[in-house]
């Protein structure tokens, strides 16, 4: 398989389709030696089943393992670190990876607990988990989905699971796009298998899955993400880390020269254009917030909206709801998370859960609407 190729396959037998896609891509021919240590990096952002739209379907990883073992590759490890606010060990259990590990004898590596080191990533020093240096070949298995802050997430951003939690927070204080782009220079992805089965097009941690039953194989993370933008009706320029990663030499954005092929039956169905998140973002002032914090706030606002409470909340506030590390030490009306502890009303937690934000803001409405102005 060449670097400018992307293969797609549709259907609901995910394990069988993964195997077929990898045969077509001749993955085995890309791996340097039979004894190579192969890292498999799914997206287990939080502890939720794949049908929820956030995490990599375990049957896809099962297909990868069966393919590799059938071709004599037995030095495999599944490595992942969930987002700040969730523990990877819980995600391994809930997402079906403990069972997968037991079934195939492939160990799990919790990147949240791994040691790390600083690495020069095309001029930017980033902390990277030590496990990355032990891989001879890395297979990235991201979920194609939306993201509250970067609009989309797929191949490039999935590498964030291989940095420590402290660096994940630091990424947000650097504005996300630049460090994600530089990370692509620090962690080489040798092969990409995109889970485009039912990703949530609004929220990184799922809840509104959009079923497509598609898998994609690729070798270039920049080309992959550029194609994903097209599928999601986004301009890649609206996702700055993609052109930045291309400028750093991590891949090509040239879809015109790409060879995109469907194996078997295609599906004419396009992804919907509407995004719930756009309307909700108008209620929020976000400065350097962590993914989990923001990712919990938006669904909480959605719940308030569905109950007709969001407009009532906004009518009570002099400003937007504030969230993020940029509000540390500052004052204001209503804020989310420990970073806004100096605000008149702050939902505690780091990050506060979706349910806690929802309940706290609802309580705020009920208590403040009773007050005489
Ligand atoms: S409270 Fe601040 S540091 Fe904690 S998760 Fe939220 S944005 Fe990040």
Query: Among 211, 227, 188, which Cα is nearest to 7's?
Result: 227
Distance 234 CA to ligand 1 centre (A): 28
Q: Tens digits of per-residue pLDDT, 116-168?
A: 999 999 999 999 999 999 999 999 999 999 998 899 999 999 999 999 999 99
Q: Which of 178-187, 202-211, 302-311 has the lowest mean pLDDT?
A: 202-211
- Percent of the chain, pLDDT > 90? 84
Angle at 50 between CA 48 and CA 53, to 5 degrees: 90
Q: Using omega within 30 degrees of 0 as the cis cutoff, is the peptide bond preceding 330 cis?
A: no
CATH of 5-263, one of 3.40.50.970, 3.50.50.100, 3.40.50.11440, 3.40.190.10: 3.40.50.11440
- Please, which residues have CB within 8 angstroms of residue 310's CB and are 6 or more apart in sequence? 280, 283, 301, 304
> Which residue in the block uniquely carries the two structure tokens 């791994």?
114
Ligand 1 atom with the smallest distance to the CA of 350 is 4
Residue 338 Cα to ligand 1 midpoint, Å, equals: 6
- Mapped onto helix, strand or coil, the DSSP state of residue 132 is helix
Question: 323, 336 in Cβ contact below 8 A?
Answer: yes
Q: What is the mean pLDDT of residues 67-81?
A: 97
pLDDT of residue 350: 94
Checking if the pLDDT of 371 tops 80, the result is no
Decide: 33 and 242 in contact? Cβ < 8 Å. no
Nearest 5°: the CA angle 319, 322, 327 is: 120
What would the 3-class secondary structure string for 269-317 be?
CCCCCCCHHHHHHCCEEECCCCHHHHHHHHHHHHHHHHCCCHHHHHHHC
H-helix segments, the chain: 14-25, 58-70, 88-94, 97-104, 131-134, 165-173, 177-186, 221-231, 241-247, 276-281, 291-306, 310-316, 354-369
Ligand 1 centroid from CA 26, angstroms:
43
State the chain's mean pLDDT as an integer: 94
For ligand 1, what atom is nearest to the CA of residue 288? Answer: 7
Give pLDDT, residue 19.
98
- Least confident interval from 44-48, 83-87, 94-98, 236-240: 83-87
If one compares 175 and 159, the residue with the highest pLDDT of the two is 159
Pairing of strands 116-121, 124-129: antiparallel
Q: Atom of ligand 1 at shortest distance to CA of 340? A: 1
| Ligand 1 site-directed mutation target among 330, 351, 353, most atoms within 8 Å of CB | 351
Are the CB atoms for 291 and 172 separated by under 8 Å? yes
Residue 102: predicted pLDDT: 98
Rounded to 5 degrees, φ, ψ at 139 are: -105, 115
Q: Give the pLDDT of residue 85.
A: 83
281 or 372: which leads in pLDDT: 281
Distance, first Cα to last Cα, the chain: 67
- Taking the CA of residue 351 as reference, the ligand 1 atom at the shortest distance is 5
Pocket of ligand 1 (CB under 6 A): 84, 169, 289-290, 292-293, 324-325, 337-339, 350-351
Q: pLDDT confidence of 292, banded at 50, 70, 90? A: confident
Domain ranges of the chain: 5-263, 276-369
Ligand 1: centre distance to CA 199 (Å): 25
- Distance between CA atoms of 113 and 295, rounded to whole angstroms? 23
- d(Cα 257, Cα 307) in Å, to the nearest integer? 48
Q: Please provide the size of the chain in residues.
A: 373
Confidence of residue 369 (pLDDT cuts 50, 70, 90): confident
pLDDT band at 373 (very low <50, low <70, confident <90, very high): low
76 φ/ψ angles, rounded to the nearest 5 degrees: -115, 150
């Amino acid at each position: 398989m060449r670097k400018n190729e992307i293969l797609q396959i549709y259907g609901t037998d995910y394990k069988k389709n993964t195997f077929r896609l990898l045969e077509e891509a001749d993955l085995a021919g890309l791996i340097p030696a039979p004894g190579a240590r192969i890292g498999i990096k799914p997206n287990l952002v939080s502890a939720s089943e794949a049908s929820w739209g956030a995490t990599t379907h375990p049957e896809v990883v099962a297909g990868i393992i069966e393919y590799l073992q059938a071709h004599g590759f037995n030095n495999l490890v599944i490595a992942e670190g969930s987002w700040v606010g969730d523990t990877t060990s819980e995600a391994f259990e809930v997402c079906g990876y403990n069972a997968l590990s037991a079934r195939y004898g492939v160990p799990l590596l919790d990147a949240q607990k791994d040691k790390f080191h600083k690495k020069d990533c095309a001029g930017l020093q980033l902390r990277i988990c030590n496990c990355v240096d032990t891989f001879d070949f890395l297979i990235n298995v991201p979920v194609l989905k939306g993201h509250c802050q970067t609009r989309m997430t797929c191949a490039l951003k999935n590498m964030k699971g291989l940095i420590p939690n402290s660096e994940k927070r630091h990424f947000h204080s650097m504005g996300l796009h630049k460090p994600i782009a530089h990370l692509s220079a620090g962690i080489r992805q040798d092969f990409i298998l995109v889970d485009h089965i039912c990703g949530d097009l609004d929220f990184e941690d799922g809840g509104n899955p959009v079923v497509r039953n598609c898998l994609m194989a690729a070798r270039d993370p920049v080309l992959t993400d550029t194609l994903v933008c097209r599928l999601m009706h986004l301009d890649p320029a609206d996702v700055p880390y993609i052109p930045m990663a291309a400028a750093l030499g991590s891949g090509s954005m040239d879809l015109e020269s790409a060879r995109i092929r469907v194996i078997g039956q295609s599906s004419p169905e396009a992804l919907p254009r509407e995004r719930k998140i756009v309307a909700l973002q108008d209620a929020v002032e976000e400065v350097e917030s962590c993914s989990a914090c923001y990712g919990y706030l938006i669904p909480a606002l959605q719940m308030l909206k569905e109950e007709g409470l969001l407009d009532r909340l906004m009518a009570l506030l002099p400003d937007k709801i504030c969230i993020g590390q940029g509000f540390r030490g500052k004052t204001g009306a209503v804020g989310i998370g420990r970073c806004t502890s100096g605000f008149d009303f702050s939902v505690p937690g780091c990050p506060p859960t979706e349910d806690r934000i929802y309940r706290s803001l609802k309580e705020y409405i009920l208590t403040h609407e009773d007050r005489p102005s």
